[in-house]
Each structure stands twice: as structure tokens, then as C-alpha cells.
Amino acid sequence: MCGIVGYVGREEAAPILLDGLARLEYRGYDSAGVAIFDGTKLQVAKTKGRLRALSDMIQGGAAIHGTIGVGHTRWATHGAPSDVNSHPQVSRSGRIAVVHNGIIENYAELKEFLVGQGVGFASETDTEVVAQLIEYFYEGDILKAVGRVLHRIEGAYALGIICADEPERLIAVRKDSPLILGLGDGFSFLASDVTAIIKHTRDVIYMEDGEIAELTREGVKCYNHLLQPVSKETSHVDWEIDAAEKGGYEHFMLKEIMEQPEALRRAIFPRVKDGQVVLEDFTLDDDYVAAIRKIFIVACGSSYHVGMVGKYNLEKLLRIPVEVTLASEFRYMEPIVDEHTLVIVISQSGETLDTMAALREAKALGAKILSIVNVVGSSIARESDVVLYTWAGPEIAVATTKAYSTQLAVIDLLGLYLAKKRGSADDERILTAVRELLMLPSKLEQVLEKQEDIQYFASQYFNHDSIFFIGRNVDYALGLEGSLKLKEISYIHSEAYASGELKHGTISLIEDGTLVVALATYEKLFDKAMSNVVEVRSRGADVLALTTEGREEAMAKNANAIITIPDTDELLLPSLGVAPLQLLAYYIALMRGCDIDKPRNLAKSVTVE
């Protein structure tokens, strides 16, 4: 949600900023802009709409010359998407430009103060207040002026600031919104995430909350909120630029679906030694593990769906209560959490605001926090007691696929690891599951080979108005993810239902030709799943069933079409079952001409409540 990139160096800044913004497009935005010092003054170009419009406006960057600047893709919060509300926002003299991710909560009161001082405002944004306030305090040192402003603004923000009077410095500020610094020979960057700058450097500094940084061609200096210098570690990003490019695929989503076997290998293989799960990053001691009385899983969206599978699997393995809750609900529900509660926080981005707030709430109540996160150095990772990274690599498509799969693998690894430590599952049970975990990537490859069959099914169903997903237990959890994938990228109305609940209401919606995707991978409940297929078929539904190899004949008696996955340990069925559902959503969206990687109204990282 919103993207920031800033550059100071020896090259022309405009094309570098446009390229960086293009790499942040996936985060979601509705307008874009840049501010560049041209040797005399700040040149600001910004517009509502896609980045292409901004690029055309400044001839791909050729229309503005200068070697220092900031750029932004905005997701509107305060003030509608419009040219004037786009960032950069500038102070009234035009000397100071600010790009901002997040929300300034006390902007109205600050605006009133500034208006009282005779300051006029051009936009409706909270960001303009920051630009005007910096100018109000400016006495020849932009760093000091920003330092004073930080004591007055409240909320969540990442800021990039440029001042025409000091055209060799960029200022970066971070509080509750991600911002990284990139280091190079003769240049420095600031950016919302690594993808924006990986082309130029892999040496980065992760800013902490409350920190301010000063960037010049010579390097970066970091300060705390009192402007005292702080020393920072430089991290080396070990993935290549190709990981953030389409590599011949039409969409990032398809590329990321196909990358899942490899991502699973990275997530699983280093964590298995001699048939046992070894979690080297798990730093909680055995006494703590033995004393865990309850587990809470907290997450949003697809990460929450991983939590649903996690609940079933962890309860089977650990025999302790596992509650799975949407982060946005957890925050306000007075959860029963104490020092014997392990809270598992799941987040691809590691920046989701609701999940972050839930983490803090749980921590304050005494729980230990274990997070399952993809983005290294993200806020959630940094505030957790234990982080298990998913190692899925950069995920660019808004609809998550490989992050979901690796989250599932990691929660299963965790379950098996804790079961061993607590002695809640016997060795044979653990060994069997671990053996299957190691086979998961190659079994997933077999599923992905059915791409063309699924494309065919998509061609049969892409014009349906409404599609239902039904299943029980882990198949229900899988249905939630299949349904979300479909609706977020194809805009088809869809619902996932626990099959047993159909007759309590939803079955009234089934009529001739309604498509029901029946999930029947869980052997123990196969007969029940079959009864539900009969139930909806007799009311006119078309049924596309997903089951394991060997059961297709039985299923063929009732379903119209069948997709199979290889059989595996019951804990791992959703890890295989999700791939056909991802492909189905992908091809349906493709046939409907949707903007698959950047679905309307959605952002990759949701950093507002």
C-alpha cells in the first residue's frame, strides 16, 4: 500500500525513480509522482492514475534533469485520488517535498494550527501538513526541522523528504511503516521495499521505528528521535533481480504458482535432518514449550486461511486448544491470553497493520510471539520472540500463492517440531509426516503438470456469476482460500462453506447450473463429502470435485468433473489441493480479461486499519 523510492547519486534520478516505482506497483496505488531537484528548484510531476501516465508526462524521465529526488505511488486515504492529492506534497514555498506512507492521525489539529499561522493548503492530504510543518520549523537544516516535526506528529509513517536549499541530502523517517535504505558506491536509496532497488544494490539497512536517516552520495547516517547517531548493521539481500521479474510468464501470479515446488524446497529441506524437524531459529526453551496451554493463531486474509489449516493440524498433533482469529477481531475482543499462550502470527509481508497491532496486544498480555513471515526484517519479524521465515522469495502478485504454500509448510514443520518436544505424537507418526513433507515439492510438481486440464475447466466455468466451495475440516479451510483467490482476481462472487452448514441456509442459493467446487481430499470424511455432492447435484448444481488419486472413480458417479491430487499425509493435503484452485482462479480471471497481478481496490501490503 503506497510505495516510496528516493535516490541521491550521480545518475539522472527521474528514470531511476520511475523504474523503482514500477517495481512497487504491485503494492497497489491510484496515483503517482516524483520531485527532483533540477539544479535550481524542485520539479514536481504527479498525476492520478497509473504510473504510465506519470511516465508519459515526463517523457520516461527525460523531461526532468537532476541527480536527487523522491517518488511515490499513492493509495488514497486522506483525500480522494486526484492530481493535487498525489504525492509528493510540497510546502507553500515549493522548497520542501514530502512522500509519505501511512496516516498522520493528528493532522487536523496541526492543520488548524498552521492555518492560524497564515499557511494556505492546496490538498486534502495529511501529508501536506508534514511538508508545511517542516517548512514552518526550517532554519537552514532540514534534518533538525524534521526532528522537530517528529515530536509533533502522531500516527504511522514512512517519509521521504527533499529540500531545495540542501540539494545534496535526502531525509528518511520510519515509524510503523516499512522503509529501507540502500547503499552503493556514489549513491544511496530509500525505498518501501527491496524490490524497488535490488537492481542497483543488495546492501540494505532496515530502519527501526523512530529512526531518521540522512542520505547523501557518500552514504547514510542514522539517528534516533533525539537526533543522536545510531550505528546500524548492513544486511545483504541474497535473492537476484530475476526473482522480482516475470521471467517469460504473462503474469507474476502464474510465475509464483509455478515457483511453489522450489519455494517449498527452500522452506522445508534445510529444516529436516535425519528424519526430524530441526528449527534452528526456534529459541524458546523446553520448559516454556512444555508449559504451553493454548495456542492462538492470528492473521488476515490468506494467512488466516493458513491459520485455519494450522488449527486442525496443530490440534491433531499437540492435543491442546488452538484458536484461530482474524487479527482485526483479535485486537478488540479481549482475548484470553497469558504467559502460557503461544501466539502464532502469520504474515507474508510482515507489515499488515491489524496483524501487527494484534501482535503487540498479545505481547502486552504476556504471550510469547512466534511469527511466520516472508519478508526479512519486516516489522512483525522484528517484534516477534521467534521468527520462522518462509523463504518464498519476493511475491509480487497481490494474490498470494507461494507465500501461502510456504506458510502452510512452516506451520506443519512447527507442529511436528512441537509434537516431538512435547511428546504428544509418537515417533512413527512424526517420521511418516516428515517423509511426506520431503516429497511435497515433487508431488506438487505433478499437480502443476495438470495446468492444461485446469485451463480447460476454467473455460467451462469462467462466465459463472457465483461459485461455491464446499468441504469439511481441512477441505473447508482449503475452500476458504480457493474462494478468496477466485473472488479477488476474477471478481466473481464466491463463498466457501463448511459442507455440513449447507442445509442451514446456503443450499437455498443452489439452482440449475450453479457451480459448486467440492473439496474431498480428506479421506476420513470422503463419504460425507460425497453425500454433499449428491445433495447439491440433486438441486441442479454442476460439481467440480477435487479429490485424491484412486478416488476419482467413486467421485465420478456424482460429480460432473474431477481434478485429482496425489495422496499424502492428511496434514499436507491442503498443500497439494491449493494449487489446482490457484490455477482455476488464475485461468478464470485470464478468460474474463481481469488485471490479474493488480486486482482492483486491493493492495499487497495492507498498512492501514
Cβ distance to ligand M6R smaller for residue 200 or 305: 305
User: Which residue, 519, 411, 409, 511, is CA-closest to 474?
Assistant: 519
> Least Å distance between CB 602 and ligand M6R?
6
Instruction: Find where cell 547503499 sits.
Output: 183
Cβ distance to ligand M6R smaller for residue 284 or 608: 608
> Least Å distance between CB 327 and ligand M6R?
8
| Gap between the Cα atoms of 98 and 554, Å rounded | 63
With CB under 6 A as the contact rule, the residue among 263, 457, 606, 607 that binds ligand M6R is 606
Cβ distance to ligand M6R smaller for residue 113 or 491: 491
400 near ligand M6R (CB under 6 A): yes
Cβ distance to ligand M6R smaller for residue 2 or 502: 2
User: Which residue, 451, 568, 550, 565, is CA-closest to 519?
Assistant: 565
Cβ distance to ligand M6R smaller for residue 9 or 301: 301
| Gap between the Cα atoms of 194 and 203, Å rounded | 10
> Least Å distance between CB 350 and ligand M6R?
7
> Least Å distance between CB 347 and ligand M6R?
3
CA 220 to chain centre: 28
Alpha-carbon torsion (372, 375, 380, 385), positive or negative = positive
Cβ distance to ligand M6R smaller for residue 125 or 379: 379
In DSSP notation, 181-196 reads EEEETTEEEEESSGGG
| Gap between the Cα atoms of 496 and 57, Å rounded | 45
- Spatial CB neighbours of 121, under 8 Å, sequence gap ≥ 6: 111, 114, 115, 128, 129, 132
Alpha-carbon torsion (602, 404, 285, 238), positive or negative = negative
C-alpha triplet 6, 12, 15: angle, nearest 5°: 70
Among positions 296-355, residues that touch ligand M6R (CB under 6 A) are: 300-303, 347-349, 352, 355
398 near ligand M6R (CB under 6 A): yes
- 2 a catalytic residue: yes
Contact map string, positions 263 to 302, toward ligand M6R, x by CB under 6 A: -------------------------------------xxx
> Least Å distance between CB 607 and ligand M6R?
10
Question: What is the total count of residues that contact ligand M6R (CB under 6 A)?
Answer: 17
Contact map string, positions 23 to 62, toward ligand M6R, x by CB under 6 A: ----------------------------------------
510 near ligand M6R (CB under 6 A): no
Residue nearest to ligand M6R (CB): 301
- Spatial CB neighbours of 145, under 8 Å, sequence gap ≥ 6: 134, 135, 137, 138, 139
> Least Å distance between CB 69 and ligand M6R?
29
582 near ligand M6R (CB under 6 A): no
Q: Considering only the stretches 3-11, 93-101, 108-116, 398-406, report the one whose residues sit in contact with ligand M6R under the rule CB under 6 A.
A: 398-406
Q: What is the dihedral of CA 55, 57, 61, 67, to 10 degrees?
A: -120
The two beta strands, 272-273 and 294-299, are unpaired
CB 398 within 8 A of CB 382: no
371 near ligand M6R (CB under 6 A): no
488 near ligand M6R (CB under 6 A): yes
| Gap between the Cα atoms of 171 and 214, Å rounded | 5
Q: Considering only the stretches 67-75, 115-123, 393-401, 533-541, report the one whose residues sit in contact with ligand M6R under the rule CB under 6 A.
A: 393-401
User: Which residue, 516, 432, 522, 433, is CA-closest to 477?
Assistant: 522
* Helix, strand, or coil (residue 62): coil
Cβ distance to ligand M6R smaller for residue 31 or 406: 406
- Spatial CB neighbours of 568, under 8 Å, sequence gap ≥ 6: 436, 439, 440, 443, 548, 575, 576
Q: Considering only the stretches 27-35, 233-241, 394-402, 432-440, report the one whose residues sit in contact with ligand M6R under the rule CB under 6 A.
A: 394-402
In DSSP notation, 441-497 reads HHHHHHHHTTHHHHHHHHHHHTT-SEEEEEESTHHHHHHHHHHHHHHHHH--EEEEE
Q: According to DSSP H, which parts of 365-462 are helical?
A: 379-383, 402-422, 427-448, 451-461
Contact map string, positions 188 to 217, toward ligand M6R, x by CB under 6 A: ------------------------------
- 246 a catalytic residue: no
Single-letter residue type at 268? I
Within 10 angstroms of residue 284's Cβ, the number of other Cβ atoms is: 16
With CB under 6 A as the contact rule, the residue among 353, 399, 409, 447 that binds ligand M6R is 399
Among positions 457-486, residues that touch ligand M6R (CB under 6 A) are: 484
Which residue among the candidates 175, 311, 316, 604 is catalytic per the annotation? 604
Which residue among the candidates 2, 163, 300, 594 is catalytic per the annotation? 2
Q: Considering only the stretches 157-165, 199-207, 538-546, 600-608, report the one whose residues sit in contact with ligand M6R under the rule CB under 6 A.
A: 600-608
64 near ligand M6R (CB under 6 A): no
Cβ distance to ligand M6R smaller for residue 132 or 347: 347
> Least Å distance between CB 344 and ligand M6R?
13
* Helix, strand, or coil (residue 147): helix
Residues assigned a catalytic role: 2, 604
Question: What residue ranges bind ligand M6R (CB under 6 A)?
Answer: 300-303, 347-349, 352, 355, 398-400, 484, 488, 602, 605-606
